[in-house]
C-alpha cells in the first residue's frame, strides 16, 4: 500500500500516470456522457471548474486528472477530489516550470490570500491558511477532510522534483 501511495504522490509532478483523464471527467459538472442526447463525447480535457488566484494573476481551467497532458493544458484535479464547495479536499496540481507553468509563483501566496473557484455557475472563495514543503511520500496532503478545503500542490523547488510545495485553504463563509 505504501508503494502505491508513493507512486501516486510522485505522479503529482507527472512522473507516473495515476489515472486516465476521461474516467474523472464523466462524473463532473456538465460532462455526464450517459446523459448526452447528441451522442457527442466530451473532450477528455473538459473544464470542470476555473481556478482564479488574483494575487498571482492566475485564471486557469481545472481539468480532471494528474497527467503531463492535463498539466500542459491547465491545472489538474486530483482523482478522488469532491467538487468545489463540498465537504472534503478539493486538490489541484500544476506545473511551476514546464507547460503553461501556472503555479510558478505559488510560493508567493500568503495566509489570507483569496483563491476563487468558479464551477457550474457558482463561485467559491477559499482563503489561504498555510503553506508548507513536504516530501514526495507525504500522501496525506490529498486525503479527504471533514470541512470544505482546497489544496494546491506543485513540485519544489522550481525546476526540481525533490519536494512538493503545498498550499492549504479553507472555504470562506
The answer for residues whose C-beta is within 8 angstroms of residue 99's C-beta and 6 or more apart is 68, 71, 72, 73
Alpha carbon distance 10, 138 (integer Å): 10
The answer to whether 75 and 63 have CB atoms below 8 angstroms apart is yes
| Cα-based distances in Å from 46 to 36, 39, 61, 75 | 14, 16, 9, 12
| Active-site annotation, residues | 95, 155, 164
**Nearest of 22, 21, 140 to residue 153 by alpha carbon:** 140
Amino acid at each position: 500500500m505504501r508503494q502505491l501511495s508513493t507512486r501516486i504522490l510522485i505522479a503529482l509532478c507527472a512522473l507516473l500516470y495515476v489515472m486516465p483523464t476521461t474516467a474523472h471527467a464523466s462524473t463532473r459538472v456538465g460532462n455526464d456522457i450517459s446523459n448526452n442526447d447528441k451522442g457527442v463525447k466530451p473532450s477528455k480535457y473538459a473544464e470542470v471548474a476555473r481556478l482564479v488566484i488574483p494575487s498571482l494573476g492566475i485564471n486557469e481551467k481545472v481539468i480532471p486528472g494528474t497527467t503531463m497532458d492535463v498539466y500542459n493544458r491547465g491545472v489538474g484535479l486530483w482523482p478522488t477530489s469532491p467538487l468545489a464547495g463540498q465537504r472534503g479536499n478539493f486538490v489541484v496540481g500544476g506545473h511551476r516550470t514546464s507547460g503553461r507553468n501556472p503555479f510558478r509563483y505559488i510560493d508567493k501566496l500568503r495566509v489570507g490570500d483569496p483563491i476563487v473557484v468558479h464551477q457550474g455557475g457558482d463561485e467559491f472563495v477559499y482563503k489561504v491558511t498555510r503553506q508548507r514543503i513536504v516530501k514526495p511520500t507525504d500522501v496525506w496532503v490529498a486525503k479527504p477532510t471533514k470541512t470544505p478545503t482546497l489544496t494546491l500542490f506543485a513540485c519544489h523547488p522550481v525546476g526540481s522534483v525533490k519536494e512538493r510545495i503545498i498550499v492549504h485553504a479553507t472555504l470562506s463563509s
